[in-house]
Amino acid sequence: MSEETNWRSPKRVALNIAVLYTANYYTADDRGTVAKAKEVLDRYNIELRVWPDGGKKGSGNLLGDINAPIPDRKEAYEALRRRVNEQIRGRCSFSVVMPAVFCQYEHRGYGITPEWFKLVTPGCLIFPTGNPDMMDLVHEIGHGAGCDHVYGDGAAERENFMHEANGRSTIRQLQVEKLIKASFAVA
């Protein structure tokens, strides 16, 4: 790793996420994306705190009446976010949290962070299939922290967690700095 991708937060910071599932999410669990996000972020002195513990599917984080794909419309994202906030209120003990909803949706992509799925903090949606590198969740957490996509075919670009292609594994110093200042971060 280069010096730019070897930089760690000088102080341990935690990012809080709440993991929810809809009934239309046909995979048994998060496909390992939560564990991968924890592993990668930890290399940069960032803890990923997850509600419920480990992000496993259970009755407290299941939106069991959502059976259709989420439409790619402002109203649909806003309604889903209100519903998510109702679901976690009183259950999730984090003071600030970025929801990650594992579901089917109409928008293309393995993960999305719609601007209309924000209510104080951003939120993301993760599709049942994804890149084999398991970096889809940490990529969307990056969007939630204000990181933009990284494009290019060079090794450094393709390895960056904000690239869209498979093979992502590194985070640059400026991206770490955005992550530790995210609206869902706590020191």
Give residue-wise pLDDT tens across range 38-85.
Answer: 999 999 999 999 999 889 998 899 999 999 999 999 999 999 999 999
Q: What pLDDT, on the 0 to 100 scale, is given for residue 1?
A: 53
Nearest Cα neighbor of 36 from 13, 55, 58 is 55
Place of tokens 């700095």: 177
Residue 6 pLDDT level (bands cut at 50, 70, 90):
confident
Can you list the domains of the chain with their CATH numbers? 3-186 (3.40.390.10)
Closest CA to 45 of 2, 87, 8: 8
Bridge-based pairing state of the strands 13-22 and 46-51: parallel
pLDDT, tens only, 150-174: 998 888 899 999 999 899 999 999 9
Dump pLDDT digits (tens) for 8-35: 999 999 999 999 999 999 998 999 999 9
What's the pTM? 0.96
Query: Over the stretch 119-155, which tens digit does the pLDDT of each residue have?
Result: 999 999 999 999 999 999 999 999 999 999 999 888 8
Determine phi and psi for 22, rounding to 5 degrees. -100, 165
Q: Tokens 């922290």 correspond to what residue? A: 145
Q: What is the spatial distance between Cα 173 and Cα 103, in angstroms, rounded to a whole number?
A: 31
pLDDT score of 99 more than 70:
yes
